[in-house]
C-alpha cells in the first residue's frame, strides 16, 4: 500500500503541484481513507519528502541506465533530457520550484543528492567527449560540470523563466545547445548540428 500511495501521490504532485494537492485529494484519487495514508506517513510533509525521494530514485536509476550505454556523449545528453522531462510531466506544475518555496529543507536535501548523481554523470560525459574529440581538450571538467548543474537548477526558477513564456522542453533545448556550443570542437559541432536537425 505504501508504494501505491507513493506512486499515486507522485503523479498528482507532478501534475498539479505540491502546494495545491491535499491529503483529501490523494485519498479520493486512491479511493482509500486518509487514515490509511496516515498509517504510512505522519503528515503531508513526510509524504512530500517520501515522494520527492521516490521520484529522485526512479529518475536516478533511469539516468544511470542511459549513461551505462556509453552512447555518443552529445546524444546521451539529449537522451537524459528526454527521459527527465517524461518523468517530470514536462514540469508543468514546477515541482522543484514549489519544493524550494514551500519545503526548503526537503529541497536542500534533494539538491545535494541530485548534485552527486549529476556530477558523476556529467563528468563522465565530458571526459568521454574529450577522448572522442567531440569536446575541446582544454575544458575544465570540474568547473563545467558544476556550472552545468547550477544552470539546470536555475532553469526551474519560475520567477526567472515563467512557464507562460518558456516551456521546460524549450528551455532545456536552448540550454543544451548553449552548453554544447561552448565546449564542442568542430567535429562535435557537426555531430550537434546533425542531432538538432534530426530532432526538428
Cell representation of residue 19: 502546494
Q: How far apart are the first and last CA of the chain?
A: 43
Residues 48-81: pLDDT tens digits? 999 999 999 999 999 999 999 999 999 999 999 8
Cα atoms found within 13 Å of the Cα of residue 12, Cβ hemisphere only: 22
Residue burial 129-139, b: 16+ Cβ < 10 Å; e: rest:
bbeeebbeeeb
What residues are paired with 184 via a beta bridge?
Answer: 135
Q: CA-to-CA distance for 79 and 198, rounded, in angstroms?
A: 13
- pLDDT of 91 reads 54
**pLDDT value for 168:** 84
Residue corresponding to grid cell 556530477: 119
Q: Tell me: pLDDT of 5 over 90.
A: yes
CA distance 96 to 79: 21
Show Cβ contacts of residue 146 under 8 Å, excluding neighbours closer than 6 positions.
Answer: 119
Contact 155, 168 (CB under 8 A): yes
Mean pLDDT, residues 7-27 taken together: 91
State yes or no: pLDDT of 93 exceeds 60: no
Shortest CA distance to 119 belongs to which of 140, 139, 149? 149
State the pTM of this model.
0.86
Strand segments (E) across the chain = none
- Residue in the block written with cell 528551455: 171
Pick the CATH number of 43-199 from 1.10.357.10, 3.40.50.970, 1.10.3720.10, 3.30.590.10: 1.10.357.10
Dihedral angle at the C-alpha atoms of 156, 161, 164, 165, nearest 10 degrees? -140
Q: For 5-155, where are the E strands, in sequence order?
A: none
As to burial, measured by CB atoms within 10 angstroms (0-12 exposed, 13-18 middle, 19+ buried), residue 70 is exposed
Please state the domain extents for the chain. Answer: 43-199
> Alpha-carbon distance 155 to 173, whole Å?
11
Where does the pLDDT of residue 198 fall: very low under 50, low under 70, confident under 90, or very high at 90 and above? Answer: confident
Amino acid at each position: 500500500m505504501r508504494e501505491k500511495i507513493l506512486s499515486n501521490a507522485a503523479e498528482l504532485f507532478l501534475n498539479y503541484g505540491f502546494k495545491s494537492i491535499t491529503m483529501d485529494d490523494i485519498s479520493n484519487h486512491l479511493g482509500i481513507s486518509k487514515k490509511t495514508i496516515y498509517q504510512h506517513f505522519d503528515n503531508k510533509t513526510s509524504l512530500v519528502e517520501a515522494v520527492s525521494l521516490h521520484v529522485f530514485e526512479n529518475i536516478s536509476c533511469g539516468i544511470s541506465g542511459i549513461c551505462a550505454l556509453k552512447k555518443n556523449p552529445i546524444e546521451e545528453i539529449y537522451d537524459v533530457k528526454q527521459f527527465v522531462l517524461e518523468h517530470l510531466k514536462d514540469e508543468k506544475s514546477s515541482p522543484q520550484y514549489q519544493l524550494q518555496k514551500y519545503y526548503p529543507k526537503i529541497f536542500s536535501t534533494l539538491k545535494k543528492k541530485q548534485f552527486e548523481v549529476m556530477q558523476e554523470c556529467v563528468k563522465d560525459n565530458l571526459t568521454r567527449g574529450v577522448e572522442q574529440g567531440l569536446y575541446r581538450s582544454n575544458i575544465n571538467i570540474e568547473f563545467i560540470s558544476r556550472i552545468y548543474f547550477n544552470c539546470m537548477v536555475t532553469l526551474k526558477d519560475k520567477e526567472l523563466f515563467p512557464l507562460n513564456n518558456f516551456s521546460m522542453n524549450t528551455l532545456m533545448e536552448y540550454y543544451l545547445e548553449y552548453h554544447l556550443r561552448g565546449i564542442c570542437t568542430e567535429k562535435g559541432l557537426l555531430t550537434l548540428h546533425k542531432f538538432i536537425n534530426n530532432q526538428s
